């Protein structure tokens, strides 16, 4: 994994799609985890501070000590006030140019890992903003329409509910392509057969937060991996990404305190 940023307290990596953040009872057969890979690469213990779904690629931050982990976890779980997240997503259909999805989500509990969790909690507030960057129409009948239409979105979740973006996009009838839990199987199959794409087309490309030690605003950006970039190119959106800024998210040089 590419290291996007590193200092004495934090390390940020570009997680590939299909990789778990850490060991989970849900995927007992998995033997590789992002946390283990980063730990082995740095030769020291690392602590996860936020979630990134297994099929989602992009920016993943780890703390390098327990105290920083505690403060970062509080930061990320504090309602998103001080954390700005940006994702790129390919969705089915022509989405509106801009939109705000304010739709409460019931907590999704896993039978194994959430066995002791409260089962009757009310739906939690959830807000997602998006902006359409590009549209594409392909001359293939996928489902009941003679052509297949897609949108490239820049998505900014303002809360941090489980699978929030994927569930919110399904709610407005623009599911993320490649989503096997909340998506459209016909379009997922089309992308597999036509493009050889077997992944969820959702990537955490931008992240900004206040550094717990310096108090400065840290802005990170992750490039798209080859599989996602190939879809962007095939749908004619390469120039779109080059023209639209990442809402202030800039590359930061890797700082290695040992050099």
* Beta pairing partners, 217: 210
What φ, ψ does residue 240 adopt, rounded to 5°? -60, -45
Q: Quick check: is 53 catalytic?
A: yes
CA distance 37 to 241: 30
Q: Is 201:192 a contact under the CB 8 Å cutoff?
A: no
CA distance 227 to 123: 35
Going by C-alpha positions, the residue among 251, 255, 192, 253 that lies closest to residue 227 is 192
Query: Residue 29, exposed/middle/buried by CB under 10 A (0-12, 13-18, 19+)?
Result: exposed
Catalytic site residue from 7, 27, 53, 102: 53
CA distance 179 to 166: 7
- Which DSSP symbol is given to 9? S
- Residue 202 neighbours by CB distance under 10 Å: 28
CA distance 61 to 65: 13
Rg (CA), the chain: 19
Catalytic residue annotation: 53
């Amino acid at each position: 994994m590419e290291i996007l940023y590193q200092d004495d307290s934090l390390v940020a990596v570009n997680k590939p799609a299909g990789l778990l953040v850490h060991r989970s009872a849900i995927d007992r057969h998995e033997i590789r985890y992002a946390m283990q890979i980063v730990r082995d690469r740095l030769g020291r213990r690392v602590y996860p501070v936020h979630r990134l779904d297994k099929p989602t690629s992009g920016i993943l931050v780890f703390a390098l000590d327990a105290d920083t982990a505690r403060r970062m976890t509080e930061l990320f779980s504090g309602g998103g006030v001080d954390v700005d997240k940006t994702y790129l997503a390919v969705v089915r259909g022509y989405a509106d140019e801009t939109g705000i999805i304010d739709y409460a989500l019931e907590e999704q509990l896993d039978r194994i890992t959430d066995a002791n969790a409260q089962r009757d909690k009310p739906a939690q507030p959830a807000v997602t903003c998006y902006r359409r960057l590009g549209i594409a129409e392909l001359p293939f009948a996928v489902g009941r329409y003679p052509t297949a239409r897609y949108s490239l979105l820049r998505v900014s979740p303002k809360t941090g509910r489980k699978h929030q973006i994927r569930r919110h996009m399904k709610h407005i009838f623009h599911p993320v392509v490649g989503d096997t839990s909340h998506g459209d199987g016909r379009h997922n199959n089309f992308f597999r057969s036509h493009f050889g794409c077997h992944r969820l087309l959702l990537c955490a490309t931008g992240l900004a937060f206040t550094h717990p030690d310096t108090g400065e605003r840290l802005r990170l950006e992750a490039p798209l991996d080859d599989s996602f970039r190939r879809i962007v190119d095939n749908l004619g959106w390469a120039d779109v990404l080059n023209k639209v800024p990442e809402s202030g998210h800039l590359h930061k040089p890797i700082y290695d305190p040992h050099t």
